Structure 1
Amino acid sequence: MDTELNKASRRLSELPISIELSGFTIDVQWLRVMQKSGQWEIERHAHSSFEFHIIARGSCKVATDTRSFVAEAGSFYLTAPGVYHQQWSRSEEDLVEYSLDCTFRPRKESIGSPSEWVELHEFFLSCACLPVKDTSGVIALFDQALNEALALKPGYSIVIHSLVPSILVAAARSMGLSNSLTTTKEKSRMDMIADFVEDNLFRPISPADIAAFMNLSEKQVSRIVFASEGYSTKRFITLAKIEQAKKMLTSTSYSLVEISKELGFSTTSYFNTVFRKTEGVTPGAYREQILEKLDIHHT
């Protein structure tokens, strides 16, 4: 283990960093280095914050609930709020990972006002968790922060504070942020909520989970959903799960018990009740109707 790197990491971790920007206050949970050797594993977990995993040396395997990949030196990946992920060694080679974990806290006086930071936040929310090649100097900027923490020259704290926004912008550029930010503007908050629900249909999710993912309050999420759909966030989640259940009911491969369990309903009885209230028939009756139609069509 590199003791000098460890010392610099510890000093960065101990430095409180909160940055006032247009539209947001960025609170840094940690700015640090993780060094791993041999066989190791970090179990499945999620944060309510953004975590940038920057691979300075070595490589590792990463898995989310929807995909898996290898992150190699010179690349990084972002786990947005609510994204479950796990990480483990790829080989016996040492791993050095730089990590920036932060939250975007909306400033009351700027809510609803457009700014580049508001758009950058939405851009990060819309990005998939995939490895990205560092083409904009993210690692070099982090190295500079480590050097400042190690040297402790006058004004080092000011320099480190200024490097955090630079790291975020460099990461966004590497991830494909365009000058016009058209991709962000085209993807509304409702689209992101719908995508999150779709990606998490096979686990219990609540309005609070969506709020954490969006870095918004539950009331804000409720207003967005109601304005778009005309009903509550809870109902939006329920209807999405029922639509998935209807797809699964077209096949006899799944029992009603399996479907209710897969979709995160507490009991099969509750699943039956919700389905009947939504569709007007029980799941079993719906399956019979669908299979009868399919038989008629085939004959």
Structure 2
Amino acid sequence: MDYELNKASRRLSELPFIIELSGFTIEVKWLRVMQKTGQWIIPRHAHSSFEFHIIARGACTVTTDNESFTAKAGSFYLTAPGVYHEQCNYNEGDLIEYSLDCTFHPRRESATQENSEWSQLHSFFLSVPCTPFQDTNGVISLFEQALDEALHIRPAYGIIILSLVPAILVAAARSMGIGPIPSKNNQKTRMDRIAEFVEDNINRPLCPADIAAYLNLSEKQISRIVFASEGYSTKRFIILAKIEQAKKMLTNPSYSINEIAKDLGYSTTSYFTTAFKKNEGVTPGAYREKILSKHTTYHT
């Protein structure tokens, strides 16, 4: 075991990493080194974040729900939010893995978020498969610069390490084959297109498969995009969109509960009432009474 590497890794993990970029805040959950030897296994699990597994030395076997592969020295792979994976030894050899785990938080108040390069990079990371990529753009070298700074604690080393994180992310994207980033002013993120599709089709029964077909993506890809942006499932995103529209319609007494249920694509009024109460804690009728009584009181 490399004890200096452990020391550098520990110091890296102790640093707070919040990086403000154009339209996004990147929160680094960890920047660390994993050393393994002999037989070992990390059981099947998933994160709500992006984890870059960078193989500096040795190799390991990785199994996802879709495939199994060997990640060897000089390569890396990415597990996006919600991607289940298991990792274990390969031929009982030693392994040194550099790990960067981070989340992208869009700043909704930013007018430039949709068009930023970081928005496009975020969308790209959501779309790439969990498979090994050769490090052709210096990902390992950049990580080792961060380790060297942490080990020797040079003046302002934290600033240097902070600047290396975006460089690692860009180098990883380039190694994965990201294409030219569009600069059109009307370029929309995939999450924007998902939200628009749900809004435009709010009056019919919707499921994740409908969104996937519209964007020509898999349901798993749609799930990752929605989870990374909103923090919950695609199904819940659809339900909440319908409930929000129902709340708007309930403020208009000319709509009956039955009409609202039908207009929102619910098969029965009972199903709509159950879904509404589960999310709002009251029935649609009780919600309407409360809202209309407040309105009457205000105008009295």
| TM-score of Structure 1 vs Structure 2, range by shorter chain | 0.5 to 0.7
Hey, which bits of structure 1, 4+ residues long, moved more than 3 A? 185-193, 217-223
The percent of aligned pairs where both chains have the same amino acid is: 60
Displacement of 1:26 in angstroms is: 0.4
Q: Secondary structure at the residue paired with 1:145?
A: helix
Q: Deviations over 1:194-224 (max 9, x none)?
A: 2453579xxxxxx8x8742x3325599877x
**Structure 1 residues 210 and 165, CA, compared in 2 at 3 Å: closer, same or farther?**
closer
- Which residue does 2:105 correspond to in 1? 105
- Which residue does 1:3 correspond to in 2? 3
**Using the alignment, how far apart are the partners of 1:3 and 1:151 within structure 2?**
14
Task: Give structure 2 stretches of 5+ with no counterpart.
Answer: 198-207, 244-266, 269-300
- Which residue does 1:119 correspond to in 2? 120
Aligned positions of 1:65-144 closer than 5 A = 65-110=65-110, 113-144=114-145
- Which residue does 2:219 correspond to in 1? 197
- Which residue does 2:229 correspond to in 1? 215
**Structure 1 residues 218 and 96, CA, compared in 2 at 3 Å: closer, same or farther?**
closer
Q: Is the 8 A contact 2:51 2:78 kept in 1?
A: yes
TM-score, with length taken from structure 2: 0.66
- Which residue does 1:29 correspond to in 2? 29
- Which residue does 2:162 correspond to in 1? 161
Aligned length: 220
**Using the alignment, how far apart are the partners of 1:25 and 1:187 within structure 2?**
16
Q: Deviations over 1:162-206 (max 9, x none)?
A: 000000000000000112359xx7994449962453579xxxxxx
**Using the alignment, how far apart are the partners of 2:95 and 2:106 within structure 1?**
35
**Using the alignment, how far apart are the partners of 2:235 and 2:164 within structure 1?**
32
TM-score, with length taken from structure 1: 0.66
Could you say what the CA RMSD is over the residues aligned between the two structures, in angstroms?
3.0
**Using the alignment, how far apart are the partners of 2:190 and 2:103 within structure 1?**
20
Letter in 1 for 2:171: A
Aligned positions of 1:201-280 closer than 5 A = 211-212=226-227, 214-218=228-232
Q: Is the 8 A contact 1:50 1:81 kept in 2?
A: yes
**Using the alignment, how far apart are the partners of 1:59 and 1:36 within structure 2?**
10
- Which residue does 1:262 correspond to in 2? none
Displacement of 1:152 in angstroms is: 0.2
Displacement of 1:92 in angstroms is: 1.9
